[in-house]
Structure formats: C-alpha cells, structure tokens
A and B are shown apart, each in its own frame.
Chain A
Amino acid sequence: MRAPGRLRFAGRYVTRWAVDTAGVLLALSAGTFALVLLARGDPAAILAATRAGRSATPEQIEAVRAELGLDAPAPVRYVRWLADASTGDFGLSLRTNTPVGPEIADRMGVTLGLVAGSAAVALVAGVAVGVAGAVLGRGPVRGALRGGALLATSVPAFWLSYLLVLVLALRLGLVPTSGMAGPATWVMPMAVLGLPAAGALSRVVAVTLREALDQPYVLAAQARGSGPVSIVLRDGLPNAAGPILSLAGVTVGSLLVGTVVVEQIFGWPGLGAYFVHAAAARDVPALQAAALALGGGFILANRLADVLQALIDPRSLRDAGGTGPRAAGRGRRPSRRGGTGPREEAT
C-alpha cells in the first residue's frame, strides 16, 4: 500500500505502455511504407522526369531507380527506409527534387504552433461551456449550449472558415483573409480548428463532470459549507479529469490532423498543407514523411493522455486489487469511435 508498491506499479505500467506505443508506431511506419507499394506510377520515372524537366529517358529512370534502391525487395527497402527515416532522412521529394526531411522539420513549428493555439481555444471554451452545461438546470440556456456544442462539432471546417472569412475579414475587415503574418492572422485558423474541438470537449466535460458532481462527496462538501466554485474546482473537475484528459489527447491528435484542411484554406506553410500538396502531386516520399509525422503525433497525443490519466489518479496506482467507487466507469476513452472518425479529424 505504500510508496514502493505504487512506484513499482507505475514503473510496470509505463514500461508496458512504452512497449505498446512502440508497437503501434512501428505498425504506422509499416503502413506508411506500404503506401509506396500502392502507388500508381513509377516513382523513379516521376523523379527522373522532375530532374530532366521533361519526360526522362529509360537510362535516366534506371539510374534514379538504382539511386533510390527501388530494385531491392520490399522488406529490405522497408528496413532501409525506416533506418533512414529514424535519422530524419526521408529521401527526395518527387515534386521538387529536394530532401524531404528538412522541409518537414521547418514546417513542423508552424503546425505545432497552430495546434497549440487551437488546443488552448478548445480547452478554455470547451471546459467553460461544459462546466456551464453540468451546473445549469434544465432550461433554455443549457439547451442552447448543448445545441451550439453539437453544431460546432458538425460544421465542416472548410465551410466554417468561409463563413468566418465572409464576416470577419470581408464584411468587418477585422483580420486578413489568409496568410500567416501577425497575431491577427492567427484568429481564424485557431477558431476554425479549435471551436469544433471545443464543442466535442464540452460535451464530454458536461457528462463526466455531471457524473462527478452526483457523487456523495459533493453532498458532503456542501454539508461542510463549501461553495459551488470550490466544489467544481476541487471535487468535480479532478474527478472528471480522466475522461476529459483522455479526450484532450484525442483532441490534440485530431487538431494535428485537422491542420490538413485549415492550413490549406488559410495558406499556412505547415505540415498539413505540405501533406495535401504531396497527396495532390502523388509525391510519395513527401507523403510518407508527412503521414508519419502527423500520424505519429496523433498516436502519441492519444496514448500520452492515457498514461497521464492513469498516473494522476492515486487509486489507479494501488497495488491492491480493490476498485474505487468509479473504477468501473473509467478506462476507455469516451468518444464513440476512439477518435478515428472524420468527425474529429475532418474539422
């Protein structure tokens, strides 16, 4: 019951988590590599043509093929590709004939900044609306908040951005329509990416917080004279934190994927836009690198939330097998699809 047992449990848990995560990431890399096998058209021919400026001769194509190692069997190529990728070498872009790795690294900052900004929007708005939804009695305000949250999760990101451009940029002239130049240009991308996530988050906050606030310890806190703010902050939110944190992981992951649409619309030089360009040009090496970066980030965000959730709850680190009062309700993440649906990503 004391520290050594708990620490050992935590150690075992984290180790198992790390092994699992490595497995999933490896599977992701295999899937990413397999893209090259699915590809229509010969990458060697495309790159040779890019270099030659026009269609390449068979000799040029063969030279490129040898250079890229495309003549080896697929498993060998996978191992080579993985080894190179782990050093940041993703090969040459078929579109521009420049190394993909540095380009990805450059664009990563833009995307992470956008994700961080929209995550902040999602967190603040989502928790605020969710708390209101949990604490308000049945009535028009609560109904409006619920409906608004659901609507926010349903509006396609590309259409929401059009609406914002029409109103904020064209009609009111508050912010530029696109680009990434100053603080004002961050408003719309952050809103388009963050608001739908806030909607999803607020739903989960409302449901889990309500459940946490229905526990007898809330009555007990009222009996000892604690006010509603203290109860929400000290008793409600911490006990609802598991599912909320879990969804926050899903949210950050889906924000990362959502940059694909938002960066494209607002012309931001990030990973998401790079991914779309690569897909449009069938630029396989670039596609692989971007998919690995975005997909890896998505998976890591999800799984980090899981491990954090387990580590913050003192009950989950018990060596004894007993369960806390809510033990049955925790565990799996709350979203129906575990975050794979376009419901989250396409926003």
Chain B
Amino acid sequence: MTQGHRRWGLPATVRTTLVALPLIVFAIAGVLAPVLAPADPTANDLAAGLLPPSADHLLGTDQLGRDQLSRILYGARISLAVTAAVLAISLAAGVVIGTVAGYLGGRVDRVISRLIDMAVSLPGMLVALAVIGVRGPGVENLVIALSLWAWAPYARIARARVAGLRGSPHLDALRLLGAGPVRVIGRHLLPPALAPCLVYASTDVGAIVLSVATLSFLGLGIPPPHAEWGQMLIEGRPYLASAWWLAYPPGIAITAVVFAGNLLGERLAGGDERPSILRWVRPARRPRHSIAPRPAPAGSPATSAAPAASAEDDVVLRVRDLSAGYPHGGGLRRVVAGVSYEVRRGRVLAIVGETGSGKTTSALAPFGLVDPGAVVTGSATLGGGAGALELMGRTPPERHRVNGRRVGVVFQDSLAALNPLRTVGAHVDEAVRNAGRGGRRAATRRVSEELLRLAGLPDPAVIAREFPHQLSGGMRQRVQIAIALAGEPELLVADEPTSALDVTVQAQLLDLLGRLRDELAMAMVVVSHDVAVISRLADSVAVMYAGRIVETGPLATVIGNPDHPYTRGLLDAVPRPGAAPGTRFRTMPGRSGAGPDDTGGCAFAPRCPIAVAACADDRPVLEAASTVAHRSACLRHPGGTALQPGTARERDRL
C-alpha cells in the first residue's frame, strides 16, 4: 500500500534501481574488466599460491597463484558476454517469431503457439545439458544451448502483445493506405512487442548467469583456463576448507546477480505488498480515547441514534462514540466518526445510507469484522446487567467467544461469504461446533439440519451436501441465516440481507427474519438501503451520511416526518411505508460525501438544497427534532416542528 511504497522514503524508480544495482555492477565489471583488473587472470605464479587477501591481492590468490579479484572481474566479463549473446539471439528470434505468429494469426499462429508452449514446458537445464552433451563444451555451444530454450518466453510475450494489437483500427488504416506486411510488422508491431520483452530480459540476466555458472561447474560450460565463477568454484574445491577466499567471492557474486534478477522480476510482476484480512496484529491496541461509556459533554459532536436507555437490561447492544479509520499518510483517515446507537431485545434497528456512508463499518466494527489495520475507538457493550461485555479492545480469541455465540452475522454477498470448496453442511457444522453445540459428526449434522430447517430450507439433509454455487441466491442467504443462528445469538447483524435477490425472494426472507426476531426474541441490526427492508422490519432507523449519523428515530417518525434534508431527499420519490420490496431510495443528485473529516461543516452541504452559509463552517449536532426520540443533525431543522436546539437537560443525556 501507499505506506509500504514509502517505507524507505524513496521513489519507486530509485528503489528499482537499487534492486538492480548488482546487475549494473555486474555489467560495468564485465565491460571494464581489462581496465579494472589488477593482474592477468590467467597468469600463474606457483610461488604465490593460496595467499590470503592482502594489499597486493585484495581477494587473495588461488592454488596456481592467480589473482582472485582479477579472476572474479574476468568471470563477470565472460558471463556477461555469454549472457549478452544469449539474450541477443533469443530476443531477436523470440520477438520475430512471436510477432509473425501474432500478426498472421490463423493456422500459422496455432502451430507456432503450440511450438512455443512445448518449448516453454521443456526443462531448460536439461536441454542445455543435452545439447552440450552431444556438441561438446565451449563458448559457442554454450550460447547455442542456452538460446535454444531461452527464446520461447520472448516469443510468447511478443505474440500476446501483437495479437492484442492486430485488430486495432490503426493497423487497418495502415493497410488501407497500402503499407505492406513487412512495413507494418517492422515499423508498427516490432517496437511495441519489443518493449515488454526488454523488461523481461532484465530479469532473465540472473537466470542465464546461473545457467552458465552451473554448466561450467559441471565441466560442460566455459572450459579452463578461462576464469568463470562456477569454474573457479570447481577448481578451488580441494582448497575450500582452508582457503575461504576461494569459497566465498565467486558464490557471492553469482548469488548477488541472480538475487537481483529475481527481485527485479518480482518487483516488475507487482510483488505481494498487500497484507491479508487475516493478518496477525498486535492484540487490541488500546484506543487513545477512553473506551468506557461516558456522558458526552454538552454540545459534543458525538452523534447518537438513541437517547439514554431507561430499561438497561433490555439493551442488547449499545454503541457509543464509535469511530473507525485507517492509517493514512502519517495520520488517520476516518470512515466512521462518533457513531452511537443501541438496539433492544426483539427490536430491529435499520442503518441506512449510500454506499460508502460507513453503515457497514458501523455495524460490523464492534465485532472486529473489519480490516485488522483499521483503528477503531469508542465503546460497544453487548448485553445489559450482569452479562454486559465491553467489545472494544478484545483480542481475537476473546472475540471467538462472542462471534458465533452471542452474535450472528449475515453478509451481503452470499456467494462470496461461503467458502466455494466446502459444502453448505460443512459451514453450518463448523458454526455449530464453534458455538459449542456440536458433538459427534452425526449429532452435529443433526443440529445443522435443524438450523437449515429453521431458516426455511426444505430437505436440509440434501441441501447440506450441496456446494454454495449449486444453490440459488435466496437459498444461500437462508444458509447464512442458519449459520448465524447456530449460537442461538442475542443479536443478529445483517448487512444488506436482501440485495441482489428478486422481489418475491426478498419478501420471503424479510418474513423469515421478522418471524425469527419474534420467535427467538433476538435484537437485529440491519444495514440496508432498501426501503422495503426498513419499512417491513425495522422499529427504528439511523440514517448515515459521510460516516456520521444524520438522523435517527422511530421508523414511523423518520419515514413519515423526516427532518434532515438528506433523509427527505432519500424518501422523496418513494412511496411511504408498505413500499414494494426492492424499492430503493432515490439516488440523490450530486456526488456522495467522502469522509467524516473532509469538511469542518455539514458534510451534506454541497448537495443540500437548503444549505446556508453557516452550513459550511458549523458542524450540526444530533438534536431533538419532532420528538425527543427523533433527532437530526441539521442546522435548519426543516422538519419545522423542531423543539428548538434542545434543552440543556436533553443534551446532557446524549
């Protein structure tokens, strides 16, 4: 990510150059070896044999008294020469063959592609050894042997590039203008085909140097008395234990060049900088702010979806001042700011908002179901009375005692939320075992089938043996519900449970959720942008915009008498309660707001039809609108019947 690329504080090009440094040194050493080398690499001096490094011989001498540094430099020279020859031959042959195949297409292309496939699937080292085996060692044979397999990847790259260009109108135009195939290929196809090949060649250098060294080491590459790195190692073999300067420098030289080639290839291929969702992070960084629920000071910017509770034991989830953000350029980029809400036994809270408004994060962050890199602060209490449990700052193992037991989650995309390689039954079985309700395999499966039946799936024994992709979207969503119910949870969190389903299926699922709420007396948090879901299921609503709650209250009040201009806009073109399933909120004109901290004023101001100058500077606070329970964050309270800015007493209870 951005952070990773900036880790060394160097631009990417400089870092790539650094990575390629051994290759550059290798090239320079190879070209300038006659100038740089202090001695003749083949000059024997038996009297000075096996000398350790000294001022005269910086890397010592070998058994024949030859200067080791000079031999390393000349080794680079011969490796470089062979590499350059192999690259030149295989690049030229590969690019021409690939370009011709890509240009002609049809049968020629098929035959050549097949040939390329075969050449690529042959083990290069064996080909080289076999060719040298019949032709004998020596520099030319080495070059021939290595080129014989090295061309194929270039041909493949060039073919793909040219085949992609073939249909372009630009080429058709050229042909109409009378350009012959030679001209078209030479002027317009070879150059673009060559470019990716050259990039690939830079990463191929290491591979070729390694082959040269390996073959020379086996006595089948560069023959003595030439200095070559692999050759030097085999010649020095008897003295390795006593003369370390014979053992290390050639090996280090080869490794450095090959390593640089590999690293370069990896960088060019994109590497794997991105860390995964499941990555391990230090358990629960304690949030900077106090995590305990605290009375918000008067005028606090915290937004809240519910007034202070009266019957504490009834509250299943109470979220206070929840913020979530990601490290960004040294700071924190928040996606959710100061969100508070609560939901009681047997009640349903709907969180409503556009994509990117932070509604899913607000619902899932209390349970740690966000990217581990996210910084989440605030407090979230699950359950009331004696069973109350603060969820923030929990370690992953502690979360396993909450998730799947006290809380069940239904995700939006049921196909993605189920492991494609496991049967439905395996998923439910796992949930049952996680919840501690499992036993022997058959007993667990019986519980699973019961759950599937509870979720309204007919014939659970058969369904359990199916893979997710074999079920319809509605059935998969029921499977998710069955999984969520495995722990007999107090709370069900459903993220867009009915999106992407057709209307009748949606209605059935909503009925199911409503029935489950009643029968199991669960609390639910439903994230949705679907009016039907909200009007059929919810008891209260929280409307989110740009990471904050902008309006909240009982369903009937918010839908029937919306206060915030955003809510009004959403509901404008939509029939009121009883709307057909699938009815979406009207999309609002204008771009949706970005983050909660992008402006010091009201985030909705750019799109608000009734904005005034103050809106850009003063951030509105959630305040009582038509009733105490119905609150909205707008400076103007267009709902009209506002109990003006709220009494001090009411604010204190926020």
Contact = CB atoms under 8 A, between A and B. Distances in A.
Contacts of B218: 260-261, 264, 276, 279-280
A155 B210 CA distance: 9
B262 to A, nearest CB: 5
Interface residues of B, number: 104
Contacts of A339: 121, 123
Contacts, number: 305
Contacts of B272: 133, 203, 206-207, 210
Contacts of A197: none
A107 interface: no
B206 A154 contact: yes
A155 B123 contact: no
B430 interface: yes
A338 B124 CA distance: 11
B208 interface: yes
Contacts of B434: 224-226
Given A158-B230, A226-B400, A322-B469, A219 B411 contact: yes
Nearest to B129: A279
Given A166-B240, A228-B396, A154 B258 contact: yes
Contacts of A222: 278, 368-369, 399, 403
Interface in B212-232: 213-214, 217-220, 230
A136 interface: yes
A222 B434 CA distance: 10
Interface string A130-169: 0001111110000000000011011111110011011000
Interface in B127-143: 127-136
B255 A223 contact: no
Interface string B359-372: 00000000111001
Contacts of A150: 259, 262-263, 266
Given A222-B368, A282-B136, A134 B276 contact: yes
Interface stretch (A57-65, A84-92, A115-123, A287-295): A287-295
Interface residues of A, number: 100
Given A219-B417, A282-B134, A336 B269 contact: yes
Nearest to B234: A158
A284 B251 CA distance: 32
B613 interface: no
Contacts of B237: 162
A98 interface: no
Candidate in A221, A278, A283 with the most chain B CB atoms within 10 angstroms: A221
Interface string B252-276: 0011001101110110010010111
B278 A213 contact: yes
Interface string B19-30: 000000000000
Contacts of A217: 416-420
A235 B426 CA distance: 11
B540 interface: no
Nearest to B407: A223
Given A234-B422, A235-B419, A314-B421, A154 B262 contact: yes
Given A294-B126, A341-B207, A223 B403 contact: yes
A220 B422 CA distance: 13
Contact of B130 (A32, A162, A342): A32
Candidate in B152, B261, B276 with the most chain A CB atoms within 10 angstroms: B276
Contacts of B197: none
Nearest to B3: A138
A55 B123 CA distance: 36
Interface string B412-428: 01011111111000110
B133 A282 contact: yes
B208 A342 contact: yes
A156 B276 contact: no
Given A224-B486, A340-B120, A275 B129 contact: yes
Interface in A246-291: 253-254, 257, 260-261, 264, 275-276, 278-280, 282-284, 287, 291
B126 A298 contact: yes
Given A136-B279, A223-B369, A276-B218, A342 B124 contact: yes
Contacts of A346: 125, 210-211, 214
A51 interface: no
A287 B133 contact: yes
B259 A154 contact: yes
A287 B230 contact: no
B132 A341 contact: no
Interface stretch (A8-16, A34-42, A69-77): A34-42
A340 B251 contact: no
Given A154-B261, A279-B130, 13 more contacts: A135-B278, A156-B255, A158-B214, A217-B418, A220-B409, A224-B483, A234-B422, A279-B129, A283-B133, A287-B133, A302-B121, A342-B124, A345-B125
Identify the 10 closest CB pairs spanning chains A and B, nearest first: A225-B404, A279-B133, A159-B251, A345-B125, A223-B409, A225-B434, A154-B259, A342-B211, A213-B276, A216-B416
Interface of A: 1, 24, 27-28, 31-32, 35-36, 38-40, 133-138, 150-151, 153-159, 162-163, 165-166, 170, 203, 206-207, 209-211, 213-228, 230-232, 234-236, 238-239, 253-254, 257, 260-261, 264, 275-276, 278-280, 282-284, 287, 291, 294-295, 298-299, 302, 313-315, 318, 322, 324-326, 336-343, 345-346
10 contacts: A31-B122, A31-B127, A136-B279, A158-B213, A158-B217, A213-B277, A225-B399, A280-B218, A325-B420, A340-B120
